[in-house]
């Protein structure tokens, strides 16, 4: 079964600190790796995504680092803010005629003052 393993399960970071969430995948055929942010009562919202031919992508305070040989990717949130407190999901997509997202188990991030 295709899996995406995510860690940690929960994370507490002080305001202004760096939040780091890690994911590992098994299927080397995955060709798109998005991160989603979910607030209580809402559906997941696409935060940032990367393709395996790129090692890093940055959008504002959010950066994805991608290590193809290790089959790992991570989300870094710089200058973490209380408004970043949410659950974060990594995912992997195998595109094609039967594409579907495979999600990690989620990381609950709490940013304290």
Partner 1 sequence: KAGVTQTPRYLIKTRGQQVTLSCSPISGHRSVSWYQQTPGQGLQFLFEYFSETQRNKGNFPGRFSGRQFSNSRSEMNVSTLELGDSALYLCASSPQADNYGYTFGSGTRLTVV
- Give the interface with partner 1 as residue ranges (CB under 8 A): 32, 34, 36, 41-46, 49, 89, 93, 95-106
Distances in Å between the Cα of 89 and the Cα atoms of 20, 96, 97 are 12, 22, 24
Smallest distance, partner 1 to C-beta of residue 55, A: 20
- Which is nearer to partner 1, 77 or 104 (by Cβ)? 104
To the nearest 10°, report the CA torsion of 27, 33, 39, 41. Answer: -60
Cβ atoms of residues 61 and 78 within 8 Å: yes
Smallest distance, partner 1 to C-beta of residue 35, A: 12
Smallest distance, partner 1 to C-beta of residue 43, A: 3
Segments in 42-94 forming alpha helices (H): none
- Which is nearer to partner 1, 14 or 99 (by Cβ)? 99
- Which is nearer to partner 1, 32 or 76 (by Cβ)? 32
- Which is nearer to partner 1, 80 or 89 (by Cβ)? 89
Beta carbons within 10 angstroms of residue 88's beta carbon: 24
Smallest distance, partner 1 to C-beta of residue 49, A: 8
Backbone angles phi, psi at 63, to 5 degrees: -135, 135
């Amino acid at each position: 079964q295709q899996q995406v393993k995510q860690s940690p399960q929960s994370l507490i970071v002080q305001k202004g600190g760096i939040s780091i969430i890690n994911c590992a995948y098994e299927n080397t055929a995955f060709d798109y790796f998005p991160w989603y942010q979910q607030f209580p009562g809402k559906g997941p919202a696409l935060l940032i995504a990367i393709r395996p031919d790129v090692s890093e992508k940055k959008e504002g305070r959010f950066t994805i680092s991608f290590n193809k040989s290790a089959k790992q990717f991570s989300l870094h949130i710089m200058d973490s803010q209380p408004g970043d407190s949410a659950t974060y999901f990594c995912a992997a997509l195998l595109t094609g005629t039967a594409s579907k997202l495979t999600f990690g188990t989620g990381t609950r991030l709490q940013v304290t003052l």
